[in-house]
């Protein structure tokens, strides 16, 4: 099956990169190259949206090439792990580890999982390559920086930040590969469902989102936590919520009307950055 990918555009640095291939390559060439080059692959998922942030196509490519895969559920500081474990069957995603790059939690366990795989592979005479893949904005570069204990992989709140493959030295024997976030075009769901899902993960951040009002209207239906967060009663009607919140924040345009776009983007930003509980 030919898999086509799309990706957003951000700039990334390449500080301390041992070897870089910074020029853009079309997907899936880049994904295939990462999988081909890597002995072990870490798929970084958003702990709040584990199923939604999985790249099934990439997982299949990895499985078919008989490479090891480790699942990292990042941004665990934003998720209620007990609820996540009740909601999702994690058995098929072993080995996995909940990580918070922000709080530097789960890193020791991840290091152990990498070491177990490295010693099982028993590669001699060359470095072991560990590729890090995942949707844009899941925290791949942040994870690498925490693993390395220094800011080497460039990260940013803006999705699509990393471009090209960046190779960094994890230990004398292990190289870690930072890659740009990838959205498979073969994602399931309607265009609208895909768009909402990507908005949740933050593939396109609030400042760049198209139609933030539509996204917010869907999020408000799904997450009562949004109303609670702003302490506004709106009966899950986003128009009412935006109107009341805009007025509260004094987000006004000419004629004293509410700046609907600005208010919707604020809600989306608070949601994407985890200030609002997503479960
Ligand atoms: N709360 C929280 N935020 C995180 C965590 N890890 C990363 N982030 C934030 O998520 C955003 C994206 O981080 P990056 O490391 O640039 O993500 P990436 O997957 O490399 O993104 P691309 O290169 O665009 O694919 C940044 O604002 C990070 O600060 C975490 O564990 N918790
Ligand atoms: Mg990155």
pLDDT (tens digit, 9 = 90+) per residue, 205-230?
999 999 999 999 999 999 999 999 99
Backbone CA torsion sign across 257, 261, 266, 268:
positive
Residue 202 alpha carbon to ligand 1 centre in Å:
10
Q: Stretch 57-71: mean pLDDT, rounded? A: 92
Reported as a single tens digit per residue, the pLDDT across 123-163 is: 999 999 999 999 999 999 999 999 998 766 666 666 555 56
Q: Determine the Cα–Cα distance for residues 141 and 96; give it in Å rounded to an integer.
A: 18
Residue 189 — pLDDT band, cuts 50, 70, 90? confident
Reported as a single tens digit per residue, the pLDDT across 68-99 is: 999 999 999 999 899 888 888 888 899 999 99
Residues constituting the chain: 279
Residue 7 — pLDDT band, cuts 50, 70, 90? very low
Q: Stretch 255-267: mean pLDDT, rounded? A: 96
Residue of 31, 42, 112, 109 lying closest to 71 (CA atoms):
42
Q: In the listed set 154, 184, 214, which residue is the last one of a domain according to the structure?
A: 184
Residue 1 — pLDDT band, cuts 50, 70, 90? very low
Number of domains in the chain: 2
- What percent of the chain is modeled with pLDDT above 90? 66
Q: Are residues 54 and 10 in the same domain?
A: yes
Residue 279 forms part of a structural domain: no
| Domain encompassing residue 233 | 206-272
100: phi then psi, degrees, rounded to nearest 5? -125, 110
Q: Are 62 and 107 in contact (CB under 8 A)?
A: no
Q: Which of 139, 151, 177 to mutate to test the pocket of ligand 1 (most atoms within 8 A of CB)?
A: 139
Q: Determine the Cα–Cα distance for residues 107 and 61; give it in Å rounded to an integer.
A: 26
**With a 6 A CB cut-off, is 100 part of the ligand 1 pocket?**
yes
The CATH number covering residue 86 comes to 3.40.50.300
Q: Per 3-state DSSP, what percentage of the chain is helix, strand, and coil (rounded to 5)?
A: 40, 15, 45
Residue 189 forms part of a structural domain: no
Strands 19-21 and 165-169, by their bridges, are: antiparallel
Residue 17 — pLDDT band, cuts 50, 70, 90? very low
What is the number of alpha carbons within 13 Å of residue 52 lying toward its C-beta? 21
Q: Are residues 222 and 157 in the same domain?
A: no
Q: What's residue 33's pLDDT? A: 87
Q: Are residues 176 and 230 in the same domain?
A: no
Residue 13 pLDDT greater than 80, yes or no: no
Name the closest-CA residue to atom 10, ligand 1: 139
**With a 6 A CB cut-off, is 74 part of the ligand 1 pocket?**
yes
Question: Is 129 strand, coil or helix?
Answer: strand
What rounded mean pLDDT belongs to the chain?
86
Residue of 274, 273, 278 lying closest to 49 (CA atoms):
278
Residue 46 alpha carbon to ligand 1 centre in Å:
10
Residue 249 pLDDT greater than 70, yes or no: yes
Q: Taking the chain, what is the end-to-end CA distance rounded to the nearest angstrom? A: 35
Q: Are residues 261 and 142 in the same domain?
A: no
Q: What's residue 26's pLDDT? A: 55
Q: What's residue 9's pLDDT? A: 35
Reported as a single tens digit per residue, the pLDDT across 24-56 is: 455 567 888 899 999 999 999 999 999 999 999
């Amino acid at each position: 099956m030919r898999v086509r990918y799309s990706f957003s555009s951000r700039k990334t640095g390449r500080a301390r990169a041992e070897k870089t291939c910074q020029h853009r390559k079309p997907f899936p060439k880049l994904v295939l190259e990462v999988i081909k080059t890597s002995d072990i692959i870490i798929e970084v998922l958003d702990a709040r949206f584990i199923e939604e942030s999985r790249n099934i196509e990439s997982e299949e490519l990895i499985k078919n090439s008989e490479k090891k895969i480790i699942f990292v559920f990042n941004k665990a500081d934003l998720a209620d792990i007990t609820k996540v474990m009740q909601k999702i069957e994690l058995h098929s995603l072993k080995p996995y580890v909940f990580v918070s790059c922000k709080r530097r939690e789960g890193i020791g366990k991840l290091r152990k999982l990498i070491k177990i795989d490295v010693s099982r592979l028993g590669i001699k005479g060359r470095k072991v390559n560990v590729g890090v893949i995942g949707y844009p904005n899941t925290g791949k570069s942040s994870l690498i920086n925490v693993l390395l204990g220094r800011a080497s992989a460039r990260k940013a709140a803006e999705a699509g930040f990393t471009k090209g493959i960046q190779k960094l030295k994890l230990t004398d024997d292990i190289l870690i590969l930072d890659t740009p976030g990838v959205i498979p075009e073969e994602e399931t769901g309607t265009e609208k469902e895909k768009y909402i899902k990507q908005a949740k993960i933050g593939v396109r951040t609030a400042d760049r989102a198209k139609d933030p009002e539509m996204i917010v209207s869907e999020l408000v239906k799904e997450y009562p936590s949004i109303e609670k967060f702003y302490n506004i009663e709106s009966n899950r009607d986003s128009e009412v919520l935006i109107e009341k919140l805009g007025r509260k924040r004094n987000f006004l345009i000419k004629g004293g009307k509410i700046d609907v776009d600005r208010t919707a983007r604020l809600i989306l930003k608070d949601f994407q950055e985890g200030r609002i509980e997503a479960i």
